[in-house]
Amino acid sequence: MKRKIILTITLALLIIIFSVGIGSVFVPPDDIIMIIFNKLFGGNLPDNFNQNNISIIWELRLPRVLLAFFTGAALSSCGAVTQSVLKNPLASPFTLGVSSGASLGAAIVLASGISISILRNFTLPAVGLIFGVIAVFLAVKLASKLDKNLQSATIILTGMVFSLFISGFVTIIAGLSKEKYEIIMRWQTGTFSAKGWDYVKILFPVLIIGIFIFIYFSRELDILTFGEEQASAMGVETKRIKWLLLIVTAVLTGVSVSFAGIIGFIDLIAPHVARKLFSSKHNVVIPISALIGGMLMTVADLLSRTLTSPKELPVSAVTALIGAPFFVFIFFKRRKSR
C-alpha cells in the first residue's frame, strides 16, 4: 500500500512537470528549468532571454497547470465524500445543485455586467460561490423539511429537482440577454485559461482545509457507508455530520466551479478508481481521489490546449473523452485479475 501511494504521488508530480513542459508553444526544457529556478530562488537570467517565454511559463502555463490539478483534486475529493454521505455511486457535488447555483450567480453577473469594486475580477467567482452554496443549503434544507431523518434518497431528489429548477432560470437569463448569451454559455463549459496565480493562491488553501476536514471525519464517513441506522447505533450524529460535510463540499466545489466553470465527470470517476485501486477506507480514498482527480484534470487540460494547437478545445469535452475509457479500463482490468 505504501509503495502504491508513493508511486501515485510520484506519478502526479511527473504529470505536473510534463504538463508544464508541453504547451501550444514550444519552450526548450532547459529554459523552463532556468525560468522556474530563477523565479523560486532569485538570481538573474541572461539579458537576451526571451521575455515572452518567461511570461508564458511562469504566468500562463504554470498557474494553469496547478489550477487544473487543484480543481481536479477538489472536485474528486468532494465526489468521494458525496458518494459516501449519500450512499450513491452516481452522486457527485453537482447532484446537489452547486453547479447550477454557481451558474445562476455567474449568469446574473455576466448579464448585468455588475462588478463589486472591492472584489474586482473576483466578483464573478465570489457571486458564483455564494449562489452555489446557497443552492446546496436550500436543497438540503428542503430535504430535511420533507424528511426528518435526512435520508440520502431525499437529498438526491431535492438536489436534482433544485438543480433543474435553477438551470431553467439560467437558460432564461441567457436567452434574454442576446449579447451575453454566448459568454454565459461558454462560461458553463469551463476553462483554466487566463486565470493567473491569484486563483491558485485562493484555491490551494481552501483545498487543503477541505481535505483536512474530510480526513478528520473519515472514521464517521466509514461508518456512514454501512448505513445510517448502524451509524446512529454506533453513536454517529448522522444528520449533523451530513450537514457539515455537504456544506464543506459545497464550498470547495463552489470555489472550483466559480473559478474554472463546470467540468464534470472527473469528480464521478476518480473516487471509484481510488476505491478500486487502493481501499475503501476514507482516510485513503479522499487523498488518493484528490491525486487521481488532479492528474486526470491536468492531462485533460494538457490535451485541450495541445491537441489542436494553437486552437483550444473545451476541457469539459476532453474530461469525458479520456475519463470514460480510463474508467472502463480500470474496472475491466480489475475484474479480470480477480
Partner 1 sequence: MKIAQKILALSLMTFTFLFSFTACSNSDINSSQSNSDSTASTVENKKGDDLEIPDSIDRIISLSASNTEILTGLGLSDKIVAADIFSADAGVDSSVAILDMQNPDIEKIASLNPDVIFVNGINTDGASDPYSELKKAGTDVINIPAAASLDDVKSDIKLISEYTKTEEKGNELIKSIDDKIKEITDVGISQIGTDSRAKKKVYFELSAAPYCYSFGKGTFLNEILDLLGVENIYGAQDGWLSLTEEDIVSKNPDIILSSVKYDGYDISEIAKRTGWENVNAVKNNKITYVDTNSVSRASQNIVKGMDQIKKALYPDIK
What does the binding site for partner 1 look like in residue numbers (CB under 8 A)? Answer: 23-25, 51-56, 58-61, 63, 112-115, 178-180, 182-183, 186, 191, 193-197, 305, 309-312
282 CB burial (10 A radius; 0-12, 13-18, 19+) = buried
Q: Measured from the CB atom, is 10 or 55 closer to partner 1? A: 55
Measured CA to CA in angstroms, residue 97 lies from 93, 181, 231, 331 at distances of 7, 21, 26, 28
Q: Measured from the CB atom, is 43 or 113 closer to partner 1? A: 113
Give me 260's grid cell: 474554472
Q: Measured from the CB atom, is 195 or 282 closer to partner 1? A: 195
Q: Measured from the CB atom, is 151 or 304 closer to partner 1? A: 304
Question: Could you tell me the smallest distance in angstroms from the CB atom of residue 186 to partner 1?
Answer: 5
Under a CB-based contact definition with an 8 Å cutoff, are residues 300 and 266 in contact? yes
Question: Could you tell me the smallest distance in angstroms from the CB atom of residue 110 to partner 1?
Answer: 8
User: What is the helix (H) or strand (E) element at residue 184, kind and residue range?
Assistant: helix 181-189
Question: Could you tell me the smallest distance in angstroms from the CB atom of residue 35 to partner 1?
Answer: 12
Q: Measured from the CB atom, is 63 or 101 closer to partner 1? A: 63
Under a CB-based contact definition with an 8 Å cutoff, are residues 32 and 230 in contact? no
* Local structure of 196: helix, strand or coil: helix
Closest by Cα among 59, 10, 13 to 36? 59
DSSP 265: S
Query: What does the angle CA 111 – CA 115 – CA 116 come to, to the nearest 5 degrees?
Result: 140
**Residue type at position 273:** V
Under a CB-based contact definition with an 8 Å cutoff, are residues 221 and 282 in contact? yes
Question: Could you tell me the smallest distance in angstroms from the CB atom of residue 27 to partner 1?
Answer: 8
Question: Could you tell me the smallest distance in angstroms from the CB atom of residue 189 to partner 1?
Answer: 9
Q: Measured from the CB atom, is 270 or 300 closer to partner 1? A: 300
Question: Could you tell me the smallest distance in angstroms from the CB atom of residue 327 to partner 1?
Answer: 27
Question: Could you tell me the smallest distance in angstroms from the CB atom of residue 137 to partner 1?
Answer: 28
Give me 46's grid cell: 541572461
DSSP 315: H
Q: Measured from the CB atom, is 144 or 316 closer to partner 1? A: 316
Cis peptide bond prior to 310, omega within 30° of 0: yes
